[in-house]
């Protein structure tokens, strides 16, 4: 059956908007903009007749803050489990990819399953954060978040849910401070860093991390953005033209704009923490090999003995499956489960498959490993 043609006026609008996209992109290049989103998004919204994407929709309150970091609580209407979940996200982007859109939010989904949910929002690092170390992070900020999660929830232990580089930091914390952890979920978390394109790009002969941190302090947003853009340089512009193929689908356009808004909302990376991250993870693989030293103590993943769930993206290029699967060989846990899904790195927390195929399986595992509320 032939698909009905859109009205001639919509075709004309789409063509006009495509031309506007090209002009706006050129203007963004002339302005040396960090992201084309502010230039291109208004054109797409006008053509699709949609408003700003409703990102980060789940109600929450701040229960603890320290410097630029906040600990957020997403309280369930009906709590079913004593064991809370603490999400630890990466320092590279904003945490709200975990609370993406209404009905497409991992945090919202877990809250609605009856879990008391907490998430660390790292905020925007400034000059005060440039000297933060892995010791400050693992035995300071993350440990404080754990303590306050337990205090506010009234629980004796928790599930730590690490995602991407946040998962790597959370694992380092868990190795140094394993006692309050009931479970650990590692979602798209790199562990063996000698897999993937970032290992190649960060080799010492190509990348002098010491010179960069010494020169800039915190790693600037534009340098972080340029690295990710190089993973798909052509798609960076073509996706803004391709969206007009589905300009009459407001749900698709809103999801597209939400993803682009999040991707453009980068923050600086604390300099000293980044220095050790590159040296001990990507360049020397000390994190995986048990040679990384934090605060005078060796990060030994074998100290982690709680139940472990590893959630993988089958097509991940940021945390390739072999990098994440390697965690099983390092921890002492006897209860280990791996789940793999046919989505991308970010798709684990944003895909339409999330609430239907991915998160119910993760929630089922969490429910079986959490203490019911009596």
Selecting among 164, 173, 281, 306, the annotated active-site residue is 164
The sign one gets for the Cα dihedral 329, 333, 336, 341 is negative
Q: Which position among 173, 195, 199, 345 bears the catalytic label?
A: 345
CA pair distance 151, 141, nearest whole angstrom:
15
Q: Does the CA dihedral 203-204-210-215 come out positive or negative?
A: negative
C-alpha span between 195 and 213 (Å, rounded): 24
| Active-site entry in 99, 136, 192, 316 | 316
Strand order in the sheet with 69-74: 61-66, 69-74, 117-121, 85-88, 158-163, 181-187, 308-313, 336-341
Cα–Cα dist 89/93, whole Å: 8
Sequence length of the chain is 374
Active site residue 316: yes
Among residues 20, 48, 99, 32, the alpha carbon closest in space to that of 247 is found at 48
Other CB atoms closer than 10 Å to residue 223's CB: what's the count? 13
Tokens of 170: 């959370």
- Look at residue 341 and give its three-state secondary structure: strand
**Catalytic (active-site) positions:** 164, 316, 345
């Amino acid at each position: 059956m032939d698909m009905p043609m859109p009205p001639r006026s919509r075709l004309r609008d789409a063509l006009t908007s495509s031309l506007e996209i090209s002009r706006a992109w050129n203007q963004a290049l002339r302005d040396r903009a960090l992201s084309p989103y502010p230039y291109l998004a208004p054109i797409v919204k006008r053509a699709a007749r949609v408003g700003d994407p409703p990102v980060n929709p789940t109600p929450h309150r701040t229960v603890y803050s320290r410097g630029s970091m906040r600990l957020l609580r997403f309280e369930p209407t009906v709590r079913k489990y004593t064991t809370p979940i603490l999400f630890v996200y990466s320092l590279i982007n904003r945490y709200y990819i975990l609370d993406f859109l209404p009905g497409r939010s991992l945090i919202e989904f877990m809250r609605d399953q009856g879990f008391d949910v907490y998430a660390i929002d790292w905020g925007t690092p400034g000059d005060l954060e440039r000297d933060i170390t892995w010791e400050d992070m693992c035995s300071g900020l993350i440990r404080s978040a754990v303590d306050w999660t337990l205090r506010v929830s009234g629980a004796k232990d928790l599930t730590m849910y690490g995602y991407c580089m946040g998962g790597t930091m959370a694992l380092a914390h868990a190795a140094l401070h394993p006692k309050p952890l009931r479970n650990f979920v590692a979602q798209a978390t790199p562990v063996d860093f000698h897999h993937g394109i970032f290992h190649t790009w960060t080799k010492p002969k190509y990348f002098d991390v010491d010179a960069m941190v010494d020169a800039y302090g915190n790693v600037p947003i534009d340098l972080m953005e340029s690295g990710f853009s190089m993973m798909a340089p052509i798609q960076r512009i073509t996706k803004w033209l391709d969206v007009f193929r589905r300009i009459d689908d407001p749900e698709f356009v809103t999801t597209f704009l939400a993803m682009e808004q999040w991707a453009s909302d980068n923050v600086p990376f604390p300099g000293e923490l980044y220095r050790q991250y590159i040296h001990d993870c990507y360049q020397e693989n000390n994190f995986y090999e048990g040679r990384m030293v934090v605060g005078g103590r060796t990060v030994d993943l074998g100290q982690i003995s709680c139940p472990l769930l590893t959630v993988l993206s089958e097509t991940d290029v940021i945390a390739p499956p072999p990098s994440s699967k390697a965690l099983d060989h390092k921890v002492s846990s006897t209860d280990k489960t791996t789940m793999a899904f046919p989505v991308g790195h970010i798709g684990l927390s944003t895909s339409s498959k999330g609430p239907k195929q991915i998160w119910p399986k993760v929630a089922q595992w969490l429910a079986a490993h959490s203490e019911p509320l009596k």
